[in-house]
A and B are shown apart, each in its own frame.
Chain A
Amino acid sequence: MTDITTEPPVLDEGVFEQIVAEIFGVMLGFEMFPVHGEDKVVAGLTSLVHITGGRPHTVQLSFARALGDRVAAEMFQMPLAELDDEARADALGELANVVGGGVKALFPGHCQLSLPTVLLADSAPILPGAEALGTVVFTDGADTVSATLWERSDDDTIDDARGGLA
């Protein structure tokens, strides 16, 4: 007989979408809506956070540049014109951090959350040996952001439990 108390939680795309939707709902000052049937990773501004330990995963948020800027400006409550790269990286990294925390909360046992990594160029991150478990897309009505949950085969690609890609 299976002891269900030791079974890992089911973390499917629907659960991941709920986590992202709740965090966007609380942290952003404007509404974001899921776009179903769309699973393309958005090109633009990307923030990543890694879960290390027993269940190595990575959360990737990729924003269309205009939406990333609006999100960062809203989080800082500053005019768009005053936004700089440091503020972009800080805000979008923090959003990935909170989504990563929401995912990590579903994992039993000892896991750690890395510091966020942010890519401000239109380049996709490379996560060797990682498998995308799902991508969910949200829009504010004008632009889109994708959230992808990766399961990594091991922690070898992560150079520090508290941050950074190797």
Chain B
Amino acid sequence: MKILVADDSRVMRSIVIRTLRQAGYGDADVVQAGDGHEALGMIRDEDPDLVLCDWNMPGLTGLELLVQIRAGGDARPFGFVTAQQSPQMRQTAIASGAQFLIAKPFTADDFRDALDSVEA
């Protein structure tokens, strides 16, 4: 399984990758993007099975990235990992085609629940 982790914070990408390992996804091939534009290119070039994306990034936001790939017919699993944890944000994420939203701060259980539901 290849997972793209997109976040403008290097420390958050590092924490997400550690949490993936703790959640049982240590065997996943993880690739990283530091902003939305880079993530868009990596979705095309790396063809990940799952995208884990921050909401608030400079340039192209996570939501704009999701809308853009869905408009292009890309249906791959996409989840947000974000501090934007209001019910409205969650509704917007799901309505835009996200499979899940994991709120920061998160635990390995949060990742396991979200990713296992996508894999099921």
Contact = CB atoms under 8 A, between A and B. Distances in A.
B106 A26 contact: yes
B11 A113 contact: no
Which secondary structure characterizes the binding site on chain B? loop
Given A101-B82, A113-B83, 12 more contacts: A26-B106, A76-B14, A90-B9, A93-B9, A97-B56, A101-B83, A101-B104, A102-B85, A104-B85, A105-B103, A111-B86, A113-B84
Interface string B48-79: 00000000101001000000000000000000
A83 to B, nearest CB: 11
Contacts of A77: 14, 18
Which secondary structure characterizes the binding site on chain A? helix
Interface in A85-121: 87, 90-91, 93-94, 97-98, 100-102, 104-105, 107, 109-111, 113, 115
Contacts, number: 63
A26 B105 contact: yes
B11 A87 contact: yes
Contacts of B88: 109-110
B10 interface: yes
Interface of B: 8-12, 14-15, 18, 56, 58, 61, 82-86, 88, 103-107
Q: Give the one of A22, A94, A107 with max B CB within 10 A.
A: A94
Nearest to B8: A115
Interface residues of A, number: 28
Interface of A: 22-23, 26-27, 72, 75-77, 87, 90-91, 93-94, 97-98, 100-102, 104-105, 107, 109-111, 113, 115, 162-163
A38 B56 CA distance: 33
B103 to A, nearest CB: 7
Contact of B104 (A90, A98, A115): A98
Contacts of A94: 9, 11-12
Contacts of B18: 77
